[in-house]
Structure 1
Amino acid sequence: MARRRISPRRWRPPVAAPDAGPTAPFVVERRLATGGRGPEDVRFDAHGYVVTGTADGRVVRLGPGGGRVVAAETGGRPLGVLPCPDGGVLVCDHDRGLLRVAPDGTVEVLVDTVDGEPLTFASNVVQGPDGTIWFTTSTRRWDLQHHLGDMFEHTCTGRLVRRDPDGTVTTLLSDLKFANGLVLAPDGTHLLFAETAGYRIRRYWLTGPRAGSTEPLVENLAGFPDNMSLGSDGLLWVAIAAPRNALLDRLLPLPGVLRLLVWNLPAALRPKAAPVAWVMAFDLDGRRVHDLRTSDGSYGFVTSVTERDGTVIAGSLTEPDVAVLSRP
Structure 2
Amino acid sequence: MRPRRLLGLSLGAGLGWLLFAPTRVRPVAWEGPGLTPSRTGGPYADNGRLNTAQLLAPVLGLNAPESVAADAQGRLYSGFEGGAVVRFGPDGTAPEVFANTGGRPLGLRFHPDGSLLIADALRGLLRVGPEGSVQVLATGAEGIPFRFTDDLDVDRAGRFVYFTDASSKYGWPHELLDLLEHGGHGRVLRHDLQTGETVVLARDLNFPNGVTLGPEDAFLLVTETGAARVHRLWLAGERVGTLEVFAANLPGYPDNVRFDGTGTFWVALPSRRSPLLDAGARQPWLRRVVARIAERAHLPLPEESMLVALDLNGRPTAFAQGSGPDSYGYITQVLPVGDALILSSLHGQTLARVPVAQVWDPA
Q: 1:80 deviation in Å?
A: 0.4
Do residues 5 (structure 1) and 29 (structure 2) align?
A: no
Do residues 201 (structure 1) and 230 (structure 2) align?
A: yes
Q: What secondary structure, in the 3-state scheme, does the structure 2 residue paired with 1:261 have?
A: helix
In 2, are the aligned partners of 1:233 and 1:310 still within 8 Å (CA)?
Answer: no
Q: 1:231 deviation in Å?
A: 2.1
Indicate the residue corresponding to 2:267 in structure 1.
238
Indicate the residue corresponding to 1:308 in structure 2.
337
Measure, in 2, the Cα distance between the counterparts of 1:215 and 1:97. Answer: 26
Paired letter, 2:307? V
Indicate the residue corresponding to 1:123 in structure 2.
150
Q: For structure 1, which segment, 286-295 or 93-102, has the greater mean C-alpha deviation from structure 2 after superposition?
A: 286-295
Number of paired residues?
A: 325
User: Relative to 1, partners in 2 of residues 1:130 and 1:264: Cα closer, same or farther, differing over 3 Å?
Assistant: closer
Q: 1:196 deviation in Å?
A: 0.3
1:102-181 map, 5 Å: 102-128=129-155, 129-164=157-192, 165-181=194-210
> Over residues 91-122 of structure 1, what are the superposed CA-to-partner deviations in whole Å (9 max), with x where a residue is unaligned?
00111100000111111000012221322211
Unaligned stretches of 5+ residues in structure 2? 1-21, 359-363
Measure, in 1, the Cα distance between the counterparts of 2:310 and 2:276. Answer: 28
In 1, are the aligned partners of 2:48 and 2:322 still within 8 Å (CA)?
Answer: no
Q: 1:269 deviation in Å?
A: 9.1
Do residues 25 (structure 1) and 49 (structure 2) align?
A: yes
Q: For structure 1, which segment, 191-200 or 144-153, has the greater mean C-alpha deviation from structure 2 after superposition?
A: 144-153
Q: 1:247 deviation in Å?
A: 1.5
In 2, are the aligned partners of 1:195 and 1:225 still within 8 Å (CA)?
Answer: yes
Indicate the residue corresponding to 2:83 in structure 1.
57
Which has the larger helix fraction? Answer: 2
In 1, are the aligned partners of 2:228 and 2:250 still within 8 Å (CA)?
Answer: yes
The RMSD of aligned alpha carbons is: 2.0
Do residues 320 (structure 1) and 349 (structure 2) align?
A: yes
Paired letter, 1:58? A
Do residues 84 (structure 1) and 111 (structure 2) align?
A: yes
Paired letter, 1:78? P
Paired letter, 2:125? L
- The match for 1:190 among 196, 215, 219 is 219
Measure, in 1, the Cα distance between the counterparts of 2:265 and 2:68. Answer: 14
Q: What secondary structure, in the 3-state scheme, does the structure 1 residue paired with 2:277 have?
A: helix
User: Relative to 1, partners in 2 of residues 1:186 and 1:61: Cα closer, same or farther, differing over 3 Å?
Assistant: farther
Q: Report the TM-score when normalising by structure 2.
A: 0.84
Q: What secondary structure, in the 3-state scheme, does the structure 1 residue paired with 2:254 have?
A: strand
Percent of aligned positions that are identical: 34
1:259-298 map, 5 Å: 259-265=287-293, 272-298=300-326
Q: 1:297 deviation in Å?
A: 3.9
Q: What secondary structure, in the 3-state scheme, does the structure 1 residue paired with 2:153 have?
A: strand
Q: 1:23 deviation in Å?
A: 5.4
Q: 1:59 deviation in Å?
A: 1.2
Q: Report the TM-score when normalising by structure 1.
A: 0.93
Measure, in 2, the Cα distance between the counterparts of 1:269 and 1:93. Answer: 24
Q: For structure 1, which segment, 115-124 or 222-231, has the greater mean C-alpha deviation from structure 2 after superposition?
A: 115-124
Highest Rg: 1 or 2?
2
Measure, in 2, the Cα distance between the counterparts of 1:232 and 1:34. Answer: 30
Which has the larger strand fraction? Answer: 1
